Chain A
């Protein structure tokens, strides 16, 4: 149950944990943001290393990230009662441990509750409020959502107010359901072109905590009006605004549709970011239910450019680029930007696309799960994952394959 804030009290300004890292250590942020447990490992002798070195201390070979076993044993544990750093000082006592990893190195870690020397723990790489990768150790299977240290690194919707920007998105209704189930305090859902019928209106109304509000992301006025009403009351914003219009450059309506897609997907995000971004960043430390995450539901075609989706892909590519700017702004308040890269959804506009397609529920569940884990990038759907793997492995091959319509 969300307790109303005393409006007279000062809103705590966001402080961040130390964010400086060596260049090499930023590799860990990619792994942490995707929920992978990768550690630096020697390409010569195969030894794992920690902290991130430039070369292997045993044989001076190059080091690269590699999936690592998560097991570790606590060597010692303490509680920082009076940390030197202000972020930790205002969150003290803070549990810190020294662990012996099963794969070799020792590490200083954020320590879960009730972990004593000798205890077996499982490690994970998390992104902290500075958006940087850190190690977290907790007993295997331990329920972590109530732990304040874990809470700092994740974006649990429980007791938070969530804005879904487009009720017409295929994932919007399942998302509202999933958020209600996760304990969201309020679920505000924007309805574009409110005068048009919304077939799911009744289904939305049946979900406890849901309110439908008019919101057209293509209109400055509409976005600003809504921000004036609720800008300071949104802790998680999930931007589902989309305009799937398949078609290549030669399609009869290509120019008009591309312009429209840009208005919704790219400039819509920009409009939202300009007003909701600063409001959320400013509330990044507003109690333990302060603003915590912004989710952009994007298309994988924003990164893997298919000729058959020229305008749509370009709009999503533009949105991804805007996302980088938004991430930098939100980061100042410790608020996370999570990018969801989805394959074609079970949407009328993707009707002719081959299976497998992404259902609204799958997308919704991936979003809530990503928030609970504090991720920065979530890929949804087998096709999206496959395309990104292929892109990483051999970009020219993907380009040629997509040119031939081979998804």
Chain B
């Protein structure tokens, strides 16, 4: 069966609760602040959001349902997505069909996580059954070692060098300097990237995101609702989602995006890669490179040349991770899967401030989530267009 389009579905009110490296506040507080920001940005009282979609790792002992009472919501659509970096894409896909069918009118999609000095380690210990049994006991707790093993195989396969991959990290840092909410405030040179401390070679320090506390959010609604509210909006034109896309691959040399990429561009009605800006899921820039190949910007073997022949800054020919991404803005837990989506809504509604990409009409954002054992399981992508 051919997929139905997302006709009439729009996204509005991109909000970010400014990140903090560490927070004494629990994730619930960050959700509340995001709800307040959404209400303020949209002019819709939070009690009138009749859909609530929440992504978080650190909400225990609550799930989304407890937060309805906590914050006075009475939604008729409720979703909880502890899916990591693919939660943003997944939340849009679900919310879009809900509003399209009229099961709800305004869905608040929020990702929020807190971060305390011990919380990253604690979440590693309790991340997943396979990780507990077969990754954490090997000194490979935390994704650094797992991604080092993937990166090494991918670099051997594609001929990518650290210098090639560094192009992405360096350009993102330049973008982050125009984002007042980015945690990283200093410029990053390619030399600094290359000479940074080895964490688990080929992964070095500036390949790693900085875990932090924060929240991202936006509203999903029908176009007529946005118009009635006088809200700037963007149109959802295509979305894909896949989990455990290639179970038989011995090592992750492609993401699930490859399985669905034709579907994505067909649905968007454009040739692969014809977008004005792109937000990859950059929990390791080598995975950003993999996404560019999987989404059809170039071939995997063509990546070294591609990365060296494009300018990925906000004024370049392919603006990439224009807010600084997770690498330079910070990784607020599950919000890492929303940061690119929120940024694209900003860019396409012309509200990205100093980092605004001129004439941005169509934008792509990826989600990638959960290195359960040896590979990231969830992959997703969303194409948005300016109204």
Evaluate contact between B144 and A108: CB separation under 8 angstroms.
no
B145 at interface by CB-CB < 8 Å: yes
Evaluate contact between A84 and B133: CB separation under 8 angstroms.
no
Given contacts A96-B149, A108-B146, contact A78 B137 (CB under 8 A): no
Given contacts A84-B142, A110-B138, contact A117 B156 (CB under 8 A): yes
Cβ of A65 to closest chain B Cβ, rounded Å: 14
Tell which of B134, B152, B198 touches A107, judged by Cβ atoms closer than 8 Å: B134
What per-residue 1/0 map shows which CB atoms of A74-102 lie under 8 Å from chain B? 01111111111101100110101110100
Cβ of A75 to closest chain B Cβ, rounded Å: 5
Interface residue total, chain A, C-beta cutoff 8 A = 41
Evaluate contact between A79 and B136: CB separation under 8 angstroms.
no
Q: Which of B123-131, B256-264, B282-290 contacts A (4 or more CB under 8 A)?
A: B123-131
Evaluate contact between B199 and A22: CB separation under 8 angstroms.
no
Evaluate contact between B134 and A108: CB separation under 8 angstroms.
yes
B135 at interface by CB-CB < 8 Å: yes
Tell which of B133, B144, B250 touches A75, judged by Cβ atoms closer than 8 Å: B250
Bound complex: CA A80 to CA B12 (Å): 43
Evaluate contact between B153 and A100: CB separation under 8 angstroms.
no
Bound complex: CA A88 to CA B251 (Å): 24
Of A17, A98, A117, chain B has the most CB atoms within 10 Å of the CB of A98
B82 at interface by CB-CB < 8 Å: no
Cβ of A17 to closest chain B Cβ, rounded Å: 6
Tell which of A21, A87, A92, A110 touches B133, judged by Cβ atoms closer than 8 Å: A21
Evaluate contact between B138 and A109: CB separation under 8 angstroms.
yes
Evaluate contact between B137 and A128: CB separation under 8 angstroms.
yes
Bound complex: CA A163 to CA B304 (Å): 61
Evaluate contact between A100 and B133: CB separation under 8 angstroms.
no
Bound complex: CA A76 to CA B124 (Å): 22
Contacts of A83 in B (CB 8 A): 139-142, 145
What per-residue 1/0 map shows which CB atoms of B100-143 lie under 8 Å from chain A? 00000000000000000000110011000110111111111110
Q: Which of A49-57, A140-148, A323-331 contacts B (4 or more CB under 8 A)?
A: A49-57
Contacts of B66 in A (CB 8 A): none
A132 at interface by CB-CB < 8 Å: yes
Bound complex: CA A149 to CA B340 (Å): 41
Contacts of B136 in A (CB 8 A): 18, 20, 85
Contacts of B269 in A (CB 8 A): none
A243 at interface by CB-CB < 8 Å: no
Evaluate contact between A78 and B201: CB separation under 8 angstroms.
yes
Contacts of B129 in A (CB 8 A): 22, 51
B247 at interface by CB-CB < 8 Å: yes
Tell which of A21, A78, A85, A110 touches B149, judged by Cβ atoms closer than 8 Å: A78
Given contacts A51-B130, A82-B199, contact A77 B152 (CB under 8 A): yes
Tell which of A18, A80, A91, A134 touches B200, judged by Cβ atoms closer than 8 Å: A80
B357 at interface by CB-CB < 8 Å: no
Bound complex: CA A30 to CA B373 (Å): 23
A11 at interface by CB-CB < 8 Å: no
Given contacts A20-B125, A84-B120, contact A108 B152 (CB under 8 A): no
Instruction: Specify the main secondary structure of chain B where it touches its partner.
Output: helix
Evaluate contact between B139 and A17: CB separation under 8 angstroms.
yes
Contacts of A130 in B (CB 8 A): 137
Evaluate contact between B125 and A79: CB separation under 8 angstroms.
no
Bound complex: CA A51 to CA B134 (Å): 6
B150 at interface by CB-CB < 8 Å: yes
What per-residue 1/0 map shows which CB atoms of A249-262 lie under 8 Å from chain B? 00000000000000
B310 at interface by CB-CB < 8 Å: no
Query: In chain B, what residue has the closest Cβ to A101?
Result: B250
Evaluate contact between B373 and A96: CB separation under 8 angstroms.
no
Tell which of B125, B133, B140, B250 touches A96, judged by Cβ atoms closer than 8 Å: B140
A365 at interface by CB-CB < 8 Å: no
Cβ of A144 to closest chain B Cβ, rounded Å: 17
Given contacts A81-B199, A106-B374, contact A52 B137 (CB under 8 A): no
Bound complex: CA A51 to CA B372 (Å): 11
Cβ of B204 to closest chain A Cβ, rounded Å: 9
Bound complex: CA A94 to CA B203 (Å): 14
Cβ of A123 to closest chain B Cβ, rounded Å: 13
Query: In chain B, what residue has the closest Cβ to A111?
Result: B138
Contacts of A87 in B (CB 8 A): 139
Evaluate contact between B200 and A81: CB separation under 8 angstroms.
yes
Query: In chain B, what residue has the closest Cβ to A87?
Result: B139
Of B137, B150, B247, chain A has the most CB atoms within 10 Å of the CB of B137
Given contacts A75-B251, A96-B145, contact A17 B137 (CB under 8 A): yes
A212 at interface by CB-CB < 8 Å: no
A25 at interface by CB-CB < 8 Å: yes
Evaluate contact between B121 and A81: CB separation under 8 angstroms.
no
Bound complex: CA A345 to CA B82 (Å): 60
Bound complex: CA A84 to CA B199 (Å): 10
Contacts of A97 in B (CB 8 A): 149
Q: List 6 A-B contacts (CB under 8 A).
A: A52-B134, A76-B156, A80-B199, A82-B197, A84-B144, A96-B138
A78-B145, A94-B139, A96-B138 given. 17 additional CB < 8 A pairs?
A: A21-B133, A21-B137, A52-B133, A75-B251, A76-B148, A76-B150, A76-B156, A77-B149, A80-B145, A83-B139, A83-B145, A84-B142, A85-B141, A91-B139, A107-B134, A108-B140, A134-B138
